[in-house]
């Protein structure tokens, strides 16, 4: 197992007492479509953790079929605008690289929002520390472990 995926697995177990089943795919899961294809699930079941800056860095865990509406995110945060975080902002704040950001186990506590459409699935697949690693998780676990608020901030 890749060192970063193993680190995510250790953090999840230490922080939340849960065992995550990390699956690694050398062909990569960099995009939601790539992840759905290799996992063999519906694109809507891919839970992409995306980082934005909207007064501060926040994470939006969104379905692979949706795009985050930055105007809606800004309105939710009570600020004028929101933008995608830079790779440096992501790694510095969350401790993970873009493409491998898990929905929880971030280095810094940040607000996390869950695309409410994900709650319609029993299981979704999220990044597990690298662009080649994913794990199955119930949306309710994301809400619990990330202290995430289910919201409607998609286009």
Report the C-alpha gap between 107 and 95 in whole angstroms.
5
Q: What is the pTM of this model?
A: 0.94
Counting the structural domains of the chain, the total is 1
In tens, the pLDDT along 93-130 reads 999 999 899 999 999 999 999 999 999 999 999 999 99
pLDDT at residue 26, as a whole number = 85
State the DSSP code for 127: E
Residue 128: CATH number of its domain: 3.90.960.10
User: What's the token pair of residue 98?
Assistant: 């873009």
In tens, the pLDDT along 27-63 reads 777 788 888 989 999 999 999 999 999 999 999 999 9
Note down the domain range covering 70. 3-151
3-state secondary structure 43-82: HHHEEEEEEEECCCEEEEEEECCCCECHHHHHHHHCCCCC
């Amino acid at each position: 197992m890749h060192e970063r995926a193993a680190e995510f697995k250790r953090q999840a177990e230490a922080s939340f007492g849960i065992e995550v089943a990390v699956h690694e795919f050398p062909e990569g899961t960099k995009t939601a479509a790539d992840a759905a294809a290799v996992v063999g699930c519906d694109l809507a079941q891919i839970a992409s953790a995306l980082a934005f800056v909207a007064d501060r860095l926040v994470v939006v865990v969104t379905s692979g079929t949706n795009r985050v509406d930055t105007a809606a995110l800004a309105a939710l945060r009570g600020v004028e605008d929101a933008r995608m975080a830079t790779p440096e902002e992501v790694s510095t704040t969350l401790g993970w690289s873009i493409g491998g950001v898990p929905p929880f186990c971030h280095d810094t506590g940040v607000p996390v929002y869950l695309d409410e459409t994900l709650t319609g699935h029993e299981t979704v697949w999220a990044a597990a520390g690298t662009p080649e690693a994913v794990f199955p998780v119930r949306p309710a676990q994301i809400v619990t472990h990330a202290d995430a608020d289910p919201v409607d901030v998609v286009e």
